[in-house]
C-alpha cells in the first residue's frame, strides 16, 4: 500500500516529467523533510522555465476528488498572482484525476 506522502511525490514527479518532455527546465521542486514539505512561497510544488521564451510557470499539484478542497488553495494562488505576478509568469493548478488518469489543468488568471 502506498502512503499519501508517496502518492503526492509521484504526482509531483509525473508533473515534472511531463514538463521536461515538453522542453521545460525545472528550477524548483518541493522538498520533503521530517517536519513537512518546503514549497515555493508555501504554494507551488514546481517552478519551470523555458529557454525558448521568458515564461516562468508556477505549478501547484493536487489530487482531484469528490470534495472541492482545492478551491481555497486556488484562491491563495490568485491572491499571490495579484500581489507578485508579472506578465511573463504563468500560475497553474494541476489536479490529478485518477478516474481519467490525467490532469485537469487550471490556469489561474
Summarize pLDDT for 92-101 with one digit per residue, the tens. 999 999 889 9
Q: How many residues does the chain have?
A: 109
pLDDT cut 70: percent of the chain above it: 98
Cβ atoms of 66 and 49 closer than 8 Å: no
Residue 1's pLDDT is: 56
Question: Poorest-confidence range of 23-27, 30-34, 72-76, 98-102?
Answer: 30-34
Give the right CATH number for 4-108 from 3.20.20.60, 3.40.50.2020, 3.40.1350.10, 1.20.1540.10: 3.40.1350.10
Q: Which of 6-10, 25-29, 47-51 has the lowest mean pLDDT?
A: 6-10
Q: What is the mean pLDDT of residues 71-97?
A: 94
Tell me which residue of 56, 68, 64, 61 sits closest to 25, measured CA to CA.
Answer: 56
Amino acid at each position: 500500500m502506498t502512503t499519501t506522502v508517496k502518492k503526492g511525490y509521484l504526482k509531483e514527479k509525473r508533473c515534472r516529467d511531463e514538463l521536461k518532455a515538453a522542453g521545460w527546465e525545472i528550477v524548483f521542486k518541493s522538498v520533503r523533510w521530517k517536519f513537512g514539505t518546503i514549497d515555493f512561497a508555501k504554494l507551488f510544488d514546481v517552478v519551470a522555465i523555458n529557454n525558448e521564451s521568458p515564461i516562468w510557470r508556477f505549478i501547484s499539484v493536487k489530487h482531484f476528488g469528490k470534495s472541492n478542497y482545492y478551491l481555497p488553495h486556488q484562491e491563495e494562488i490568485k491572491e499571490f498572482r495579484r500581489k507578485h505576478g508579472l506578465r511573463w509568469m504563468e500560475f497553474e493548478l494541476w489536479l490529478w484525476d485518477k478516474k481519467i488518469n490525467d490532469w485537469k489543468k487550471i490556469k489561474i488568471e
